[in-house]
Amino acid sequence: MSQRSIYLTAGDSDLRKKAAAALKHEGYRVSVFKSVKELLSSAVDGIPPQLIIMDAAAGGFEACARIQALSDLPIVLFVGEEDAVDAWPESAKPRKGTVAKPLDAAVLVQHVREVFRRMDEREKAARRDDQVMVFADVQIDPKRQKASSWYGDLTLSPNEYGVLFCLMSHLNRPVGRGELLDRIWGSEKADETRVVDDTVKRLRRKITRTRLVVETVWGYGFRLRARL
C-alpha cells in the first residue's frame, strides 16, 4: 500500500511538532503547515491529502465547515475543553472525529489508524459493488442498487439500501452503528447513531414479507439472519 498523505496544522508550534513526529514515526507522509490558510492553499493547488488534521482553536472550526460543504476530504480536529464541541452546528463537526488537547500522541496515532482502516474497508466494499449477492430469499444487485425478493422489488431509500448492503456484505459478523455511519453517511460521530436506528426501523418494515431479519446487537449494532 502506498504511503498515506496527511496535511497537518495547529496554532501551537509544540503541538504541530509533537503530532507530526508521532505520525511520521508511524510511517505516514506528513506535510506540516503553520496556518489553515497555508494548508488550504496547498490542498487546492497540489495533490489533495488523504486526511486533514487541524486545530479547532486556530481556524480549524471554520475551515472544517467550508471543506465539508464542498468535498468529502476526511478531517480530524484537535479540540480543547474550551471548544464546546457539543454546541457546534453539524456542518462544522469533523466527519472523522476529534482528538483532545493536551495531545496524547498515542491517542492521535490510534485515531488516525482507525480512520484509515475504515477507509480501506470502504474501498474494499466498493470493489465488491458489481457482485450480485443473495441471502435467504433476497437478492441485491449493486449495479442497479436494487434489492428484490420472491415478492418483487423492495422499494428502499438509498440509505435503507446502504444498510441492507452493508449487513449482507458482512454476514459473518455484526456491523457497528459507527461503521454504518461511516460507510453510508460518511460520518463516525457517535451522537448521530440515532439516524442509523431510524433507518433500520424503516428497513425492517419493508422486509417483513421476506425471510430476512435485522437483529439488534445491544450496545453495538446489527446483524442479518434468515428466518426458517
Query: What tens digit of pLDDT does each residue of 145-194 get?
Result: 899 998 889 999 999 999 999 999 888 788 988 889 888 887 655 556 78
Domain boundary, last residue among 76, 108, 125? 125
Total domains, the chain: 2
Domain hosting residue 89, numbered range = 5-125
Using the predicted structure, report yes or no on whether residue 37 has a pLDDT greater than 50: yes
Question: What CATH number does residue 161 fall under?
Answer: 1.10.10.10
Statement to judge: residues 79 and 172 lie in one domain: no
Specify whether the CB–CB gap between 202 and 128 falls below 8 A: no
Specify whether the CB–CB gap between 154 and 148 falls below 8 A: yes
Which whole-number Å values give the CA distances from 29 to 3, 47, 112, in the listed order?
Answer: 6, 13, 13
Count how many Cα atoms sit within 13 Å of the Cα of residue 19 in the half-sphere of its side chain.
Answer: 30
Statement to judge: residues 112 and 143 lie in one domain: no
**pLDDT at res. 1:** 46
**pLDDT at res. 189:** 55
Statement to judge: residues 19 and 93 lie in one domain: yes
Statement to judge: residues 11 and 112 lie in one domain: yes
Domain boundary, last residue among 125, 157, 178? 125
Statement to judge: residues 104 and 170 lie in one domain: no
Statement to judge: residues 65 and 90 lie in one domain: yes
Domain boundary, last residue among 77, 98, 125? 125
Statement to judge: residues 23 and 120 lie in one domain: yes
Q: Taking the mean position of all CA atoms in its chain, how far away is CA 106?
A: 21
Specify whether the CB–CB gap between 192 and 86 falls below 8 A: no
Q: What is the pLDDT of residues 78-93, one digit of tens each?
A: 999 888 888 888 777 8
Q: Cis link prior to 48 (omega < 30° from 0)?
A: no
Relative to beta strand 133-135, strand 75-79 is unpaired
This prediction has a pTM of: 0.60
Residue with cell 480512520: 115
Using the predicted structure, report yes or no on whether residue 204 has a pLDDT greater than 60: yes
Question: What CATH number does residue 81 fall under?
Answer: 3.40.50.2300
